[in-house]
A and B are shown apart, each in its own frame.
Chain A
Amino acid sequence: MIRNLLAKIGRRWLCFGLLAASLAAVVGGGFPVHLAAQEKPYFVTYSHDLEEPGNVEIETKTALARPDGGTHYGATASELEYGVRAWWTSELYLDGQTTPADSTLLTGFRLENRFRPLMREHWINPVLYVEYENISGADKTVLEVVGHDGQSDLAARNGDARREHQHEGELKLILSSNVRDWNISENFIAEKDLSHSPWEFGYAVGAARPLRTSLNARECTFCAEKLMVGAEAYGGLGNTWALTTRDTSHYVALLVGWELPGRMRISFSPGFGLTGSSLDRVYRVGVAYEMPQVGSWFRGAKGGAR
């Protein structure tokens, strides 16, 4: 199935992916080899882990799917994440997609900020999330599902869909706990188009943990403690005009993350639609590379005043 899907997505997108991976490898090759940070393999759910202050993470999240009545597509969100403070992370996303026999296009950008209002670790840790999106209707990254989002939104031809412009504000309340090497996270989403549109609501929940939590004295790459596994579920909860789960999309997805040497990480997630409005399957692939202490390059000899 995946092979068939990749073949249909076409060489153009694969070339783009290979180019991005090569670029990440070249950039990564310029830095000393370290292990990657212990990141969760979530694609949709957010935990309370923020980027370490001064670090930059470059990540691509690609979704491969086929809506009913449409053709296969591949949509990528390229993310630049910066740890402004230990309690504040800022991110820029650039989205694009390609649909074979149609077109390849950039679909917009997103700016988001996450804040931890409480300076201590608690049983449940809240994070406030604020995002501005300027995307077209052709955006198919499906990084959140809200309101009555459904697969029919993803089936339109790019030429038609790109005419629709969405200027949206999004708020999330992220609640997250680290309990005995497990992370359990719950996100509540409220999104509003800045034009005359209702508030739309959604949710995402996830749980993840390393495959092995005991300590390994040896340096290793292909070992269980480098693998994170988990699951997430997400979907829409209607909007203020129709606060119902009728005609909403819901998904459940398995998650696997692999920490590679050189501060790189690969994640994979097969997701499955649970309702008639959902895509049958969504396959997601993520590649991340973290650059430590980029902030100090600009602060120079002054050191990190935080």
Chain B
Amino acid sequence: MRRGLAVVLAFAVVSSAAVAVQQSHFLDVPAKDHAKTNPLAGKTDAVPAGARLYADHCAQCHHADAQGDGRKKPSLRTPRVRSATDGDLEWFLRQGDLRHGMPSWSSLTQAQRWAIIRYLRSLQ
């Protein structure tokens, strides 16, 4: 009985830690960035432009369908991404997560980053 409880507790701790690590990307977003809106939000021609940019820069890791590989290269069709604001996503694209293999895309222009987010939104 005790052993079973310990296993359940350990599982709960590991799961919460994993969720915390995943969510921490957006917990760190400064309020100013969190509140940013996508200037391309209403522009339909931003979606194909974003799709091309996605194919060029993102698909090699996150795959063409944005589902990732289920291991180190995460899916972008998750509730976490869906619930993040456009500002959160733009901030994360700009920052990257160097420790976990995600490069910083600050080298793209601002318009290109917003177009990628516009495309990601069209996938959700």
The verdict on A163 contacting chain B, using a C-beta distance below 8 Å, is: no
How many residue pairs between the two chains, A and B, have CB atoms under 8 Å in the bound complex?
A: 90
Whether B106 pairs with A180 at a CB distance below 8 angstroms is no
Number of residues from A at the complex interface, CB < 8 A: 40
The verdict on B57 contacting chain A, using a C-beta distance below 8 Å, is: yes
Pick from A40, A210, A216: contact of B49, CB under 8 Å: A216
Whether A304 pairs with B73 at a CB distance below 8 angstroms is yes
Pick from A36, A52, A54, A213 the residue with the most CB of B within 10 Å: A52
* Chain A residues whose C-beta falls within 8 Å of the C-beta of B55 in the assembled complex: 34
Rounded to whole angstroms, the CA-CA distance of A85 and B98 in the bound complex is 8
Q: A121-B94, A178-B106, A215-B112 are in contact. Are A34 and B56 (CB under 8 A)?
A: yes
Whether B56 pairs with A35 at a CB distance below 8 angstroms is yes
Interface with A: B4-12, B15-23, B40-48, B75-83, which one?
B40-48
* Chain A residues whose C-beta falls within 8 Å of the C-beta of B53 in the assembled complex: 35
B68 to chain A minimum Cβ distance, whole angstroms, is 10
Q: A53-B101, A116-B98, A215-B49 are in contact. Are A305 and B72 (CB under 8 A)?
A: yes
Across the interface, name the chain B residue whose C-beta is closest to A116: B98
* Chain A residues whose C-beta falls within 8 Å of the C-beta of B61 in the assembled complex: 293, 304
Which B residues are closer than 8 A to A by beta carbons? 40, 45-46, 48-49, 52-53, 55-57, 60-61, 69, 71-73, 94-104, 106-112, 115
Known interface pairs A213-B110, A304-B61; 11 further A-B residue pairs with C-beta atoms within 8 A, sorted by A's residue number? A36-B56, A37-B57, A39-B107, A49-B107, A86-B98, A86-B99, A116-B98, A121-B96, A121-B106, A292-B60, A305-B71
A–B Cβ pairs within 8 angstroms, 12 of them: A34-B56, A37-B107, A52-B103, A85-B98, A85-B101, A86-B96, A86-B97, A213-B110, A215-B40, A217-B46, A217-B48, A303-B69
